[in-house]
Amino acid sequence: MKSFFRMSYPYLLWIALFIVAPMIMILLYALTRSGNGLLTFQFTLENFTKFFNDATFMRVLFTSLRIALLTTVFCILIGYPAALFMASLPERKQTTMVLLLTLPMWINMLLKTYAWRGILMNFDLESEARVFIGMVYDFLPYMIIQIHTAIAKMDRDLLTAAYDLGANRWKTFLKVTLPLSVPGIISGITLVFLPAVSSFVIPKLLGGGDYVLIGNLIEIYFLNAGDWNFGSAISLIMALIIIASMWATKKLDRNAQEG
């Protein structure tokens, strides 16, 4: 059976070329000055100091984090009751609900966002409000499905046991359902916060030109300004922030489950 391992050789080559090499390229560009030759790198940290010393860049970073956080919180607030109510439906209806929630996920995100652009043109809203609606819309189904999966997996006997032991519905929810659904919330956060921080389509289509998030900043530096070194540094900073927040969420999850 070990000989079957050889079947993965082509893919090993593929990931080396198209997954590992590009990551190294970003790192290399972020840490060097522009105008590098093939063998003459000039290492520097100035791309990073430039970012953190500029009030405009910091504001963009702050705005991105704020709207991503706001989106995540609202997806939980709207999505949690939905997932909870879904789980109390008969099994057949639950399947239908999951299908109804997943169907729009298969439709091109840009087209859905474009439709929102049409809808929201009817209202007089701030650009941030439009972006916020677009983001909550786009990510809500992911949150609902993650939480629903966690709740549906739960052992129903635990609820019966809680009721038998005299807990009312509210107490049962707080002491049984909620703690057991935390893993669902965590994976929901991963699926919402991460793409929300880096999103640049929704702000561009719904926010108008004046609403810039960190994703838009990267686009600007790569495609308009042509400064790949600084653009790489920004995306590295963004990736690090995302990794850090994922790590923090996981840690929180572990603590919650132990505590």
Partner 1 sequence: MKERKSPWSFFSGGYLLLVLLFIYLPIAYVLLFSFNDSKSLTNFTGFSLRWYENMVQDRTMLESIQCTVVVAVIATAVSTVVGTVAAIGLSKARRIIRNIVLEINNLPVMNPDIVTAIGLMLLFISTRIQLSLATLILSHITFCIPYVILTIMPKLRQLDDNVAEAAMDLGATPWQALTRVILPQIYPAILSGALIAFSMSFDDFVISFFTAGVGINNISMYVYSMKRYNPSVNALSTLIVVVVTLILVLVNLIPSIRGRNTKEGDTEG
Among 45, 58, 77, 119, binds partner 1 (CB under 8 A): 119
When asked if residue 86 is in the footprint of partner 1 (CB under 8 A), the reply is yes
How many CB atoms neighbour CB 158 within 10 A?
A: 14
Structure tokens at 109: 């995100």
d(CA 34, CA 232): 11
CB of 259 to partner 1, least distance (A): 27
Size of the site for partner 1 (CB under 8 A): 77
Of the pair 55, 165, the CB lying nearest partner 1 is at 165
Amino acid type, 161: A
Of the pair 90, 259, the CB lying nearest partner 1 is at 90
Interface characters, 199-218, with partner 1 (x: CB under 8 A):
-xx--xx---------x--x
CB of 18 to partner 1, least distance (A): 4
d(CA 222, CA 231): 6
CB of 81 to partner 1, least distance (A): 6
When asked if residue 15 is in the footprint of partner 1 (CB under 8 A), the reply is yes
When asked if residue 130 is in the footprint of partner 1 (CB under 8 A), the reply is no
| Contact yes or no for 197/65 (Cβ under 8 A) | yes
Among 77, 100, 161, 174, binds partner 1 (CB under 8 A): 100
Taking only Cα atoms into account, the Rg of the chain, rounded to an integer number of angstroms, comes to 23
Return the exposure string of 195-230: e unless at least 16 CB atoms fall within 10 Å of the residue's CB, then b: bbbbbbbbbbbbbeeebbbbbbbbbebbeeeebbbb
- The contacts of residue 211 (CB under 8 Å, 6+ apart) are 127, 128, 131, 203
Among 70, 73, 109, 178, binds partner 1 (CB under 8 A): 109
First to last CA, the chain: 44
List binders of partner 1 among 142-161 (CB under 8 A).
144
When asked if residue 23 is in the footprint of partner 1 (CB under 8 A), the reply is yes
CB of 22 to partner 1, least distance (A): 3
When asked if residue 249 is in the footprint of partner 1 (CB under 8 A), the reply is no
DSSP-assigned letter for residue 181: H
Of the pair 111, 165, the CB lying nearest partner 1 is at 111
